[in-house]
Structure 1
Amino acid sequence: MGIRILNGGFLTTVQDMGRYGSQETGMAVSGVMDTRAAALADILVGNDENEAVLEVTMMGPIMEFTEDELIAVTGGDLGAKVDGNPLPRYEAVLIKAGQTVSFGGMYGGSRAYVAFAGGLDVPVVMGSRSTNLKAKIGGIEGRKLGAGDEIGFRSPKTWLPNMAARKLLLPELSSREHTLRVVMGPQDDCFTEEGISTFLGSAYTISNEYDRMGCRMEGPVIAHKNGGDIITDGISFGAVQVPSHGNPIVMMADHQTTGGYTKIACVISVDLPELAQCMPGHTVRFKKIGIEEAQELYCQWRDYLKQLEKELNCPAEPASELQAVGLAAAVNEDRRYWGDHGTYRVVVNGTEFLVELKREIEQFR
């Protein structure tokens, strides 16, 4: 079938890249907090990057697999294990039926992501499988996962092309100090020059009031010209609200669709994953950049994802006719066999195997 939840952990939900197209009705986008980690997890197991994953917050779940499946765990290091042994992160790993995956600590970052090859069998609600906890829709009955929940796999896989290459370098998550790049506006003209300088020149500490809706920070007061209230307008993921109390609040994945506080800036898309992995007590500084630079950084990230997906999913090319002639000649003249290297799918009695071949020389007797 899929997975059986034995313990749901602190906050484990089903999320994808979000529920777009319904904000005009008041429906939040939701989706994963760390879009970078979630996208990489999906690509590592051959999924579209918008496929639903499990978002694991701080203390992770315990889940038993009832069917063989390839998974990838990315994001924060929350002590992922399989049957009590360390489970590699940022790597496609085959989990067998009967094995148990658990999370046992917080060694860096605050959120981990688990992607399942072929996707989870979760209903699509308003174009997304994401869990909206406040509206109680999406995911599993619109709530966090708990003991006894079962989720099936839509199209489980035990092999993928280029398995040996489905491994990425682990990100550095040990820092407690972070610099987030921002594009100023849309209400930066509501702040004094001193207020702008304070915002860009001060360190802010992430408070305990940090959840999927927003990240409240504490530090030097950012001065307004005429208070922090405005006529309500739209809000985006990463918008930095500054109410009249003068401290910033960064809107996160479950942010409301509109709000009536001044927004001094917006954290750029490629830096939001770093904030998603922060913890209360970490310090943040804001750095101003132009919108053109922000767009260029985003385009570079998109290009990287496309290239990674292409490299991992490119099947091994069959030998050309010329290569085949050369192989035959080698066998006839030298009685030696040159095996073409690559990754191949082999089906034996209905069971699929992924075979990695390396170039070898074999002397015939």
Structure 2
Amino acid sequence: MSTQTELEIVTPGAFASIQDEGRRGFRRIGVPWAGALDRRLMRIANALAGRPEDAPVIECFDGGLHVVAHGGAVKLAVAGDAVVEVDGPEGRRQLAPWRSVTIAAGEALRIRKMGSGRIAMVAVAGLEVAPVMGSASTYVRAGLGGADGSGRALAAGMRLALAEADAWGSDRVLTQPPEPDPRPIRLVPGPQADHFSAAALEALVGGDYRVTAEADRMGVRLEGAKLEHSGAADIVSDATVPGSIQVPGAGQPIVLLADAQTAGGYPKIATVIGADLGRLAALRPGQTLRFATVTAAEGAQLARAEEAETRALITAIRPLPADGIDLLALYTGNLVDGVVHALDTEFRPLY
């Protein structure tokens, strides 16, 4: 009789949860989308693990996730600028992110910390989660989705049962992952820009804003130049979407994210474009950002460009050799610089 393969959550880190593309089609009845804060990372992680791009993943923050395989081997893939370690019979070894790895029963994978950004996505081969209202995404506030359908975030001691996988093939790697994007976060003014003074939008795009400690999957409170209302700081509640920038009476903006409410009574000065929302969600408390305005048409064009970039990244994923060592990445990584050819009288570096 075969043994059930499981992945145990030893520690979930700061906050780990099951997410996918989100719960679409229910905002009209007050149900947020939820879903992965950075869909590009989710898609890359799944592609590295040989899974459909919209399959459920483990989304985690700032390191601390520690998982162990039980009952059989488990293939995992990590997307994000993470410091990854694997504990096995030969001790602990560090593993590059942006690749998959197959760990044997009893072996563990840890995400020690993050470099740039604070979000990592971990795809797990064989992870099947029953959808609730069409999605496996965890929405804690309403108790929807997640590993057992109750809306709970992942917690120490939980075990995720994994389906028996087909032939996995070799592990995969993305040798040239996306670089951190230093550009301003782009936004489209409105829909209630007329509720603010003429100087408010100029202030929003004219200086730095700092991410406060009040930042989670629901939204990010920012601190910077005060945005003056032209009248009352409240409106009759109307629809919001991820990316909406609400401004309460204190004049400090709040950017809504995936778990945000579907309606609100604060006027919205602008909306962050979808192509940049993942970048904003990945900022840590204390980091600063700047905004820049674009038109709605430019925002749509940027969305198409981001999709093309994502497709190119996924297409660039390739199998690792059987020994798991990516020689091409080593040879092209310029590990030693300043090397010169003995016969090159001009002493030009070879790399």
* TM-score (normalised: structure 2): 0.82
Structure (1 or 2) with the greater strand fraction: 1
- Residue 299 (structure 1) shift: 1.2
Give the aligned partner of residue 244 of structure 2. 239
**Counterparts of 2:63 and 2:23, CA distance in 1:** 26
Shift of the 303–178 alpha-carbon distance from structure 1 to 2, 3 Å rule, reads: closer
**Counterparts of 2:164 and 2:196, CA distance in 1:** 53
Q: How many residues align?
A: 314
Shift of the 260–219 alpha-carbon distance from structure 1 to 2, 3 Å rule, reads: same
- Give ranges in structure 2 of 5+ residues lacking alignment: 325-351
Shift of the 80–308 alpha-carbon distance from structure 1 to 2, 3 Å rule, reads: closer
**Counterparts of 2:304 and 2:202, CA distance in 1:** 29
Deviating 4+ runs (over 6 angstroms):
none
- Residue 226 (structure 1) shift: 0.6
> Structure 2: which amino acid aligns with 1:302?
E
Written as runs of structure 1 = structure 2, the 5 A alignment for 1:197-276 is 197-276=202-281
Match for residue 153 of structure 1 among 146, 149, 162: 162
Match for residue 73 of structure 1 among 71, 78, 85: 78
1:117–1:155: 8 Å Cα contact kept in structure 2?
no
Where 1:42 maps in the other structure, the secondary structure is helix
Counterpart check, 1:30 vs 2:34: yes
**Counterparts of 2:137 and 2:130, CA distance in 1:** 10
Give the aligned partner of residue 115 of structure 2. 107
**Counterparts of 1:6 and 1:93, CA distance in 2:** 18
> Structure 1: which amino acid aligns with 2:277?
L
1:45–1:160: 8 Å Cα contact kept in structure 2?
no
Where 1:230 maps in the other structure, the secondary structure is coil
> Structure 2: which amino acid aligns with 1:136?
G
Give the aligned partner of residue 322 of structure 1. none
- Residue 171 (structure 1) shift: 4.0
State percent identity of aligned pairs: 35
- Residue 310 (structure 1) shift: 5.7
- Residue 291 (structure 1) shift: 1.5
Shift of the 160–262 alpha-carbon distance from structure 1 to 2, 3 Å rule, reads: farther
Written as runs of structure 1 = structure 2, the 5 A alignment for 1:1-365 is 1-66=5-70, 67-77=72-82, 79-83=83-87, 84-118=92-126, 120-140=127-147, 141-156=150-165, 159-160=168-169, 166-173=173-180, 179-307=184-312, 309=314
Greater Rg, structure 1 or structure 2?
1
**Counterparts of 1:205 and 1:216, CA distance in 2:** 9
**Counterparts of 2:210 and 2:312, CA distance in 1:** 37
2:174–2:317: 8 Å Cα contact kept in structure 1?
no
> Structure 1: which amino acid aligns with 2:93?
N
**Counterparts of 1:276 and 1:157, CA distance in 2:** 35
